[in-house]
Structure 1
Amino acid sequence: APRIVNISVQSEEDHSFHAKCTAEGEPLPTLTWTGPLSTNVTSVSSGSYLVTKELRHLTHDGRYTCAAVNSLGRAEGTVYFYKYRAGGGSWVLVLLFVSLGIKALALLLILGVGAFWKG
């Protein structure tokens, strides 16, 4: 029966990502990727009982499943791809610093008024 030997997501030098699935079995299983908008698939077979199929240029977050099927059965493996994206949180920092600045000015004003009344 087929067996998923390895399934992973890797990055390339050009900062793109690809998913890679390797399975074994006799007869050699057929690999199929399913997931969000799976495109640009290339297959590479190596050895007499191993097959590898890559899903190149992953751009959509989500669950990607590799299915290995032959006449003796089926095996599946899943990877999750979530590309980190820095949020547009710069306005939060501006709001934080403005708020702290107003509080610091209020404190200085209170201290100044207190010093003026005492002295």
Structure 2
Amino acid sequence: MSKHTPGRLKAFNLYATPEIRDQGGNFIACGKDGSARAVADTRRLAACWNACDGISTEHLEQHGLPNFAQTISDMRAQRDELLFALREAQRLLLADAPGVALQVVEDAIAKATGEQP
């Protein structure tokens, strides 16, 4: 199986039909006509191509794209939980309770990694 054109693409609307070109300016594809929909479609195709940079075609064909919004939301929630645990551990260390602080840290690590505490 041959490889696809590497790198990012850019949509242009300079001629009768919109075009997509690679970073070297080489022609990749064009819209079917000069309509607003064709311009929007070429922009979207280039944006999708660029968003998938680094993901193999085979992976995309088999699995599609991950739900980035959910992944980001999950990562933020995990960050907030870990930050809370760190602040609690800091408070306990300042209160001269290192054993309890260590347990808070170990529990947070276990939760973040899916391991048993």
Q: Same fold (TM over 0.5)?
A: no
Higher relative strand content: 1
Higher relative contact order (CA 8 A, sep 6+): 1
State TM-score, norm by structure 2: 0.33
State TM-score, norm by structure 1: 0.32
Higher relative helix content: 2
Larger radius of gyration: 1
